Structure 1
Amino acid sequence: MISKKLPLIFAGMLLAACSATQYQTTDDGVVVNVKSSGKTDVKKVRIQVLRDELIHVSATPENEFPKDSSLIIVPGIKSSPFTVKNVSDSVMVSTSRVKVMVSKQNGGVNFKDKNGKVILAEQQGGGKSFTPIEVEGTNGYSVRQIFESPADEAFHGLGQHQSDEFNYKDKSEELFQYNTKVSVPFIVSNKNYGLLWDSYSLSRFGDSRPYKQLNTIFKLYDKKGNQGGLTGTYTSKDKGVQTLERKEESIFFEDIKSIKNLPQNFPLKNANVTYEGEIEAPVDGTYKFILYYAGYVKVYLNNELVVAERWRTAWNPNSYKFAIPLQAGKRVPLRIEWRPDGGTSYCGLRAVTPQEVDEKSNQVWWSEMSKKLDYYFVYGENADEVIKGYRTLTGKSQIMPKWAMGYWQSRERYKTQDEILGSLKEFRKRKIPIDNIVLDWNYWEEDAWGSHEFDAKRFPNPKGMVDSIHALNAKMMISVWPKFYKTTEHFKEFDSKGWMYQQAIKDNVRDWVGPGYVGSFYDAYSGGARKLFWKQIYDNLYPLGVDAWWMDASEPNVLDCTDMEYRKALCGPTALGSSTEFFNTYALMNAEAIYDGQRSVAPNKRVFLLTRSGFAGLQRYSTATWSGDIATRWEDMKAQISAGLNFAVSGIPYWTMDIGGFCVEDRYVSGQLAFDKDGKENSDNKEWRELNARWFQFGAFAPLYRAHGQFPFREPWNIAPETHPAYKSILYYTNLRYRLMPYIYTMAGMTYFNDYTIMRPLLMDFASDSKVENISDQFMFGPAFMVCPVYSYEARKRNVYFPSDSNWFDFYTGRYITGGQQLNVDAPYERIPLFIREGAIIPVGPEMQYSNEKPADKIVLYVYKGKDGSFTLYEDEDDNYNYETGKYTNIAFTYNNAKGTLTIGARKGEFNGMLKNRKFTIVTVSKDKPKAFTYDAEGQTVDYNGTEQTITLK
């Protein structure tokens, strides 16, 4: 007799067999085999559990995953416990915090919280696409991934860009490295997750399509109504030069190749150029435009000014984006007014049609060349948790040396030993605090870039120079480029081992120095080349006692203003493969060279690196990034606020900028020269001083406080005399920066121990207030200060939004302000609007001329009443890595608002040289008793010897 159970047993065995062919569990997750039909359809999806909240997703159209490794993920991340089970037509991987669903039908992946609520979902059907690509004999894929995105989602991160965009929802960004543009493929969503896209090639977020020339999208009409192009009118101020008018089929003069299509033999230096006519859209919808410009430019569309005047220097163009709704078949006037800056200048306007339905309003990632589709999902209860997960993946942020938190003075450039020492001595003479002074490029002989040898005529005693800087209680950073002239011995040493990029040599590319010299960049993707790069620095510069390394042009920027294909040719092939595949990670590899190099010879001396480019993981190499050669314009100052905030959300906490801007408008140069002659302040001097004063006010609350730029010089006394409000304001905020050193250095410690972010968009601390998601011109400097930069000329007020999750105090008066409202606040010339969060505790140290001049044995503790608060003072040995082995202290301050008490906790930890006894003076500010911030405020004094005390506040 046959048992009735047999069919059920057989069915169960069949189901198990099918499941086994559909997925295989691994040590750290699962591989799902997808039912694919096309050759480029996804065949396998791999889920790897790295932590309860960190999931790695890979997909491939191949039968097996390629054997490769990530450049950005730190090794040794151990998997957390997980379970795998069949759920209907999906495989579910579960941890204690998330559930990952993978469709066996199409490989689509959904992420849910432990209660089953969807956090992030790939587009229905999987949203993946693979397009084969072959470069230099290597096969790969152009990959795209689309995720569903609800209407109320907000995205922040992506690195640092210059179009003054903040929330990337319904926006797009092309991810590549260039001077002033730093691309980091990581976003943080207001839905409490982050996504790290693991591709090193040219990538795009938000829209997978490139911008196209106007004539490929629109019907173009000239100013007389004739179809076929716009009218270009070129008018010169030079005598005897006739006005030129011609048809322009596109506006695309964006690189050294395409500018050859500008009128030949026409002098652009003193020209006014107008492109005008009409454009006719093919379909209804919103069209996105990108303007590329050097010189002065305005854009009018439909007779409205859509781009107010912008400027960039001739050799370093900028891009700016805008979007306009257009109707199919309707002709709309377009007018571009361009005043080139110099004999070579750039102008371009490109666009994309309304976005396709599958991508519109969704989260879209595209990369030009990868071996597989790769991304990391990071879950957290808030943005700080998400950034902590990102750093778990890509590496801890090191604690910068304490002196790096002080003021940095730089210029392009100190040309002699006497100039750099003279400047530093003037700081000390005027009692303007400073910790760091910088020696920019060209300290070598003119034809010896890359030699690491000083020009003896201008720098007769480099070791004595550095020793003198140290004797003045300052540190020195020096510029070290990955660039070498082919005549130098260092070039030859790299070249003999095949570690130099060759295209610039083959093409005899000459730079801008003197008659122009031929050279190229070393291949930082080679481990051997990285070691040699450090060895050459170690042999020549390290013995001088140099304290910090400035890694310029680390994109790498072999040649300015080239088209994308030639840029790739100039910086490849790399030791790992084509530059198409490894396009964006040069700065990461270059930073590794110096970080690993210095720690190999001085393992307990903190590294400080400053680089012009960056990528995911840069923070693990004790590296900061600055925003490149930006312009001296108000709109550029404003753009740095959103640029710095998005860079912070990208997980890299140390960022800075050229206070005052790097590239200077001619009017400021000529104005300064005129001022030097007659001593009178003209309109340009007046604006220059106010611009710098406002920029210093903002810069004092950046993670790193640093001025740099071309002439006019940026030392405070070169900006204005000491009786001028600009000078007084700069001095005030520099002194304030140093008085806040206990607060600032605590935040440096928090970046390592708590994965903290110093410069914080409001959305990080006030996530429940949806109004802050698009506020890009205010930010938190740590837990206490809300900073509101002033970025308009002659503005003496500005609108400030006070987040609803807190009430606030005016820093300068102590006035109490209720949260949840917008006010038009005072912004006098010498002061930036600053507000303190209710419940804040701020330690204020002694007046200092450099960061470790005095021990902080007397600290004023400002306590802002109204809400419970806490702050934990962090201290260590300032300039070594003993903190990694527990040599540091914490002192916790806890304010109980209901009881009116402040508890100073027992000191935890110890280190050599720590203060065992100190005095705290407690100053309280409340709604009923407002108090202005002053350094010498009177309050309750407490003697502290490391034991816990609770004080009832008066």
Structure 2
Amino acid sequence: MKKISFLILLTSLFVIKQAKSQDYLKTQDGLSIKINHQLLQLYFYGPDVVRVLKSPDSTLNIQESLSVIAKPSLIDFTVVEKDGLLELLTSSLKINIDLENGKMSFKNLDNKLLLQEKEAAIFTSIKDIKEDAFKVKQTFKLEKDEVIYGLGQQQSNQLNQRNQTLILRQKPLHIAIPIIQSNKGYGVFWDNYSTTVFKDDTSGTSFDSEIGQNIDYYFMYGKSGDGVISKIRMLTGQAPMNPLWTYGFWQSRERYRGQDELLGVLKKYRALKVPLDGIIQDWQYWGENANWNAMNFENPKFYDGKAMIDEVHQLNAHFMISVWSSFGPKTKPFQELKEKNMILDFETYPAVAKVYDAYHPMARYIYWKNLNHGLFAKGVDAWWMDSTEPDHYNIKEQDFDQNTYLGSFRKVRNAFPLMATGGVYQQQRALTTAKRVFILTRCAFAGQQRYAANSWSGDVIAEWDTFDQQIASGLNFSMCGIPYWNTDIGGFSAKQFDKGVKNLAYQELYTRWFQFGTFTPMTRSHGTGGEKEIYQFGDRGNWVFDSEEKYIHLRYRLLPYLYATAWDVTNHAGSFMRPLFMDFNEDKKAHTISNQYLFGKSFMVTPVTSSMYIKDKGPKHEGAAVDFNTIKKQAVYLPKGSAWFDFWTGEKLEGGQTIERNVPIDIIPLHIPAGTILPLLAQKMQYATEKKWDELEVRIYTGKDGKFMLYEDENDNYNYEKGVFSEIEMLWNDQTQTLTIGNRKGEFPGMLKERTFKIIKVNRNHGIGVDSAQKFDAIISYKGKAKVIKL
């Protein structure tokens, strides 16, 4: 037998045994075996997570994963040969290897088949520039009615990713992440960074990658959607806490043309007393295109960038600025990167600019050095990292023959956004822990959640069909383990609408999109073809203004719920945007519903994605009249397994039925599952940290036991990682109709010592109004010691 012990971790013990005519080597973290000239290596990352590596010859060229940061685990497992199979048995899985062809299958301990390889691995020899390499393909067999989710963001209104072919290559509007998870409770991460074709049809389900030294994938058995997300995060990293203020409202334009204009917008919001936490400066603050992404205020209309940012802070807001993956020829970063041969030579945007080699650690250092000196030192709070695909136009095959620090561009193409955002996150964190990193970015890859990256869906068109696609796109993105995602509210471009944002047809679309945006991890209005600040749509009393203001105030009332959900994301690998199967997997009808989702675990959201109230008069959407005379309806499916409360009216409804919900222009259907404890701020806020949470309205939705963990910390530093935070657990016992507010655990500087809880047991008489007075069932003074309230 050839010596292959170099494959084993130095800390591992191993034994050599013979299975039929094949030798296999068992270690404490896996197994290796040669079958038909192919070498198969398994590494365990726990009893329910296994890495599968396959090579077409007797050696493996194992490369360090760019996405996976976990290390293999030493676990107890047995190996048994029977009936031509080698069976590995852990405390969670049965893994079978066919000794004739190397095909694998994965079962749970009840012997239920989870996933199986349909065909043996396919390796096709190619040349990658001058190096020998392979095209690699693995085909799996899924059950006929199985539903799968994931694969990034594909701009489709279909949640189920079965029965289609997708080319996974990063490009604007599309985010390529080769992760799938099944309603059967398992997930697969195909760890390859080259262009990959995903195909599912009657011949099987396959990943077919343009280049790879090995086949390399991870099988994860989580038993549920939450369980699979937990395994993804265990492998690729946890998502840090974002600052509290990022959950407020953000305003942006295609760009503000000078600092006076930007500050004027912020002052107008403050004068109107419409809440706002973040304002964003998009591109061209650097001046001409030759100065593209100079990472400095070179445009004379931004005559004192630091003073502008200081004034934003004085107005109790935060400032985000756009930075790109390319540089103009006159910029300092370009000149330094070019001198060190760290520029990629292909056509990008604008034509004069070039993309930097984000795979190179020195290039990432140069990028941050200039970002820090030119912008972070002036007080910038957050980064809008645009074009992190990056933009690539008039694609030529030779573009991929360029060398990066990690090999050919072809080999590592899809990992660019991971490397680019990682460079900024890691270096800002190394500089200071006083301010949490926050990144808004247009692209992503597996593991990017660990870099405080919030992806948005790109420059989408302002059309109803496009709006409808955003729901399933965001949900499938979330199923890849990255919890933070949002869209340009109203779509980026409204230029096709006559009169732009003044057009009534556009205003209806914007109003409905804004309602959806309230229930995404980041609420952000942005775009071109008209200015989208709230006052551009009219004054108070105008239906567009009033609806938007209503939902902004609602967003701020939800801050305790949003921050607690964020803590669940960070501390328990939770998710903000949840397909219905995650919580109602026993209800098969819920598996493929693509226009409804759970926002956290307490809100079921059904966006209104079709025009109902504007009479449209032609191809330019010249909406000429509003018709509010007849209230229209939206179909909503209430999943089995729970009773549901209408958030607006308090009406209780049984699950397992489709209802028709009235949807006047200011209502998005929102339903709360029985057993929910929902805290809301009792007072209005103008920005997220304006007031302490000294009065909380606690809404109890009866019918099941429930719990909620109220989480608080210092809002914008990393002391929470050292345990500097507090938690207050609330428990509802439905049988005894008792709410227990537990002892406060933990503390932090500035923590409230005393607060008031105003408690409502919701029924038809307790609908919600953002401004409405409520009749409370109990009002409790809380000083950190447990309270038991009988309702």
How would you bin the TM-score normalised by the shorter chain?
over 0.9
- Give the TM-score, by structure 2 length: 0.93
From 765, 782, 803, give the equivalent of 2:583.
Answer: 765
- What is the Cα deviation at residue 394 of structure 1? 0.5
- What is the Cα deviation at residue 118 of structure 1? 1.7
From 84, 98, 102, give the equivalent of 1:103.
Answer: 98
- What is the Cα deviation at residue 142 of structure 1? 1.3
From 919, 927, 946, give the equivalent of 2:784.
Answer: 946
C-alpha distance in 2, partners of 1:566/1:413? 35
Equivalent residues of 1:816, 1:930 under 8 A apart = no
- What is the Cα deviation at residue 20 of structure 1? 8.8
1:859 is paired with a residue of what secondary structure? strand
C-alpha distance in 1, partners of 2:304/2:654? 59
2:369 is paired with a residue of what secondary structure? helix
Residue 522 in structure 1 maps to residue 356 in structure 2: yes
Q: Aligned AA for 2:641?
A: D
C-alpha distance in 1, partners of 2:19/2:226? 42
Matches within 5 A, 1:233-252: none
1:374 is paired with a residue of what secondary structure? strand
- What is the Cα deviation at residue 810 of structure 1? 1.1
| Corresponding residue for residue 23 of structure 1 | 24
Residue 832 in structure 1 maps to residue 677 in structure 2: no
Taking a change above 3 Å as real, the CA distance of residues 60 and 160 of structure 1, as seen in their structure-2 partners, is: same
| Corresponding residue for residue 913 of structure 1 | 750
C-alpha distance in 2, partners of 1:402/1:95? 42
- What is the Cα deviation at residue 805 of structure 1? 1.1
| Corresponding residue for residue 135 of structure 2 | 142
C-alpha distance in 1, partners of 2:19/2:73? 30
| Corresponding residue for residue 633 of structure 1 | 463
Taking a change above 3 Å as real, the CA distance of residues 91 and 134 of structure 1, as seen in their structure-2 partners, is: same
1:856 is paired with a residue of what secondary structure? coil
| Corresponding residue for residue 117 of structure 2 | 122
Matches within 5 A, 1:228-267: none
C-alpha distance in 2, partners of 1:17/1:863? 62
Equivalent residues of 2:491, 2:527 under 8 A apart = yes
- What is the Cα deviation at residue 455 of structure 1? 2.6
From 454, 470, 493, give the equivalent of 1:624.
Answer: 454
Q: Aligned AA for 2:185?
A: N
Residue 648 in structure 1 maps to residue 478 in structure 2: yes
C-alpha distance in 2, partners of 1:428/1:529? 41
Q: Aligned AA for 2:36?
A: K
C-alpha distance in 2, partners of 1:184/1:417? 38
Query: C-alpha offsets along residues 414-446 of structure 1, whole Å, 9 cap, x if unaligned?
Result: 010011100111111111111100000100121
From 372, 377, 387, give the equivalent of 2:229.
Answer: 387
Is the radius of gyration larger for structure 1 or structure 2? 1
Q: Aligned AA for 2:328?
A: Y
Residue 465 in structure 1 maps to residue 302 in structure 2: no
- What is the Cα deviation at residue 86 of structure 1? 2.5
Equivalent residues of 2:70, 2:234 under 8 A apart = no
| Corresponding residue for residue 307 of structure 1 | none
| Corresponding residue for residue 719 of structure 2 | 882
- What is the Cα deviation at residue 566 of structure 1? 6.3
1:363 is paired with a residue of what secondary structure? strand
C-alpha distance in 1, partners of 2:161/2:243? 34
Equivalent residues of 1:921, 1:938 under 8 A apart = no
**Which stretch shows the higher mean deviation, 421-430 or 907-916?**
907-916
Q: Aligned AA for 1:464?
A: A
Query: C-alpha offsets along residues 294-340 of structure 1, whole Å, 9 cap, x if unaligned?
Result: xxxxxxxxxxxxxxxxxxxxxxxxxxxxxxxxxxxxxxxxxxxxxxx
| Corresponding residue for residue 87 of structure 1 | 82
Q: Aligned AA for 1:501?
A: L
| Corresponding residue for residue 690 of structure 2 | 853
Residue 57 in structure 1 maps to residue 52 in structure 2: yes
C-alpha distance in 2, partners of 1:671/1:609? 29
| Corresponding residue for residue 778 of structure 1 | 596
| Corresponding residue for residue 281 of structure 2 | 439
Query: C-alpha offsets along residues 785-825 of structure 1, whole Å, 9 cap, x if unaligned?
Result: 11111111126211110101111111111111111111121
C-alpha distance in 2, partners of 1:539/1:379? 46
C-alpha distance in 1, partners of 2:417/2:470? 21
- What is the Cα deviation at residue 933 of structure 1? 4.8
2:210 is paired with a residue of what secondary structure? strand
| Corresponding residue for residue 206 of structure 1 | 199
C-alpha distance in 2, partners of 1:768/1:494? 55
C-alpha distance in 2, partners of 1:759/1:615? 18
1:534 is paired with a residue of what secondary structure? helix
Q: What is the aligned residue count?
A: 754
Equivalent residues of 1:866, 1:926 under 8 A apart = no
| Corresponding residue for residue 412 of structure 2 | 582
From 254, 257, 262, give the equivalent of 1:415.
Answer: 257
Equivalent residues of 1:132, 1:140 under 8 A apart = yes
Equivalent residues of 1:637, 1:661 under 8 A apart = yes
Residue 568 in structure 1 maps to residue 406 in structure 2: no
C-alpha distance in 2, partners of 1:772/1:564? 43
C-alpha distance in 1, partners of 2:787/2:79? 52
| Corresponding residue for residue 481 of structure 1 | 324
Matches within 5 A, 1:928-943: 931-933=767-769, 936-939=773-776, 940-943=778-781
- What is the Cα deviation at residue 563 of structure 1? 3.7
- What is the Cα deviation at residue 18 of structure 1? 5.5
C-alpha distance in 1, partners of 2:19/2:647? 67
1:736 is paired with a residue of what secondary structure? helix
Residue 544 in structure 1 maps to residue 378 in structure 2: yes
| Corresponding residue for residue 347 of structure 1 | none
Query: C-alpha offsets along residues 536-562 of structure 1, whole Å, 9 cap, x if unaligned?
Result: 111111110000011100101143xx2
- What is the Cα deviation at residue 148 of structure 1? 1.2
| Corresponding residue for residue 498 of structure 1 | 341
1:582 is paired with a residue of what secondary structure? helix
- What is the Cα deviation at residue 162 of structure 1? 1.0
From 514, 520, 524, give the equivalent of 1:702.
Answer: 520
Query: C-alpha offsets along residues 94-113 of structure 1, whole Å, 9 cap, x if unaligned?
Result: 22111211122111111111
2:409 is paired with a residue of what secondary structure? coil
- What is the Cα deviation at residue 17 of structure 1? 4.9
C-alpha distance in 2, partners of 1:636/1:115? 43
C-alpha distance in 2, partners of 1:190/1:392? 20
C-alpha distance in 1, partners of 2:17/2:341? 54
From 271, 293, 306, give the equivalent of 1:429.
Answer: 271
From 679, 693, 715, give the equivalent of 2:511.
Answer: 693
Residue 732 in structure 1 maps to residue 550 in structure 2: yes
C-alpha distance in 2, partners of 1:931/1:467? 42
Matches within 5 A, 1:116-195: 116-123=111-118, 126-195=119-188
Taking a change above 3 Å as real, the CA distance of residues 567 and 632 of structure 1, as seen in their structure-2 partners, is: farther
C-alpha distance in 1, partners of 2:395/2:120? 31
C-alpha distance in 2, partners of 1:784/1:482? 38
Query: C-alpha offsets along residues 465-516 of structure 1, whole Å, 9 cap, x if unaligned?
Result: 0000000001001111121112322211001111011344xxxx7x55xxxx
Equivalent residues of 2:45, 2:71 under 8 A apart = no
Q: Aligned AA for 1:557?
A: D
- What is the Cα deviation at residue 91 of structure 1? 2.1
2:715 is paired with a residue of what secondary structure? coil
C-alpha distance in 1, partners of 2:164/2:18? 46
From 189, 193, 197, give the equivalent of 1:196.
Answer: 189
- What is the Cα deviation at residue 612 of structure 1? 0.4
- What is the Cα deviation at residue 145 of structure 1? 1.1
Taking a change above 3 Å as real, the CA distance of residues 863 and 933 of structure 1, as seen in their structure-2 partners, is: farther
Query: C-alpha offsets along residues 234-289 of structure 1, whole Å, 9 cap, x if unaligned?
Result: xxxxxxxxxxxxxxxxxxxxxxxxxxxxxxxxxxxxxxxxxxxxxxxxxxxxxxxx
Equivalent residues of 1:627, 1:657 under 8 A apart = yes
Query: C-alpha offsets along residues 901-937 of structure 1, whole Å, 9 cap, x if unaligned?
Result: 111111112222211211101011137x554455531
Taking a change above 3 Å as real, the CA distance of residues 875 and 80 of structure 1, as seen in their structure-2 partners, is: farther
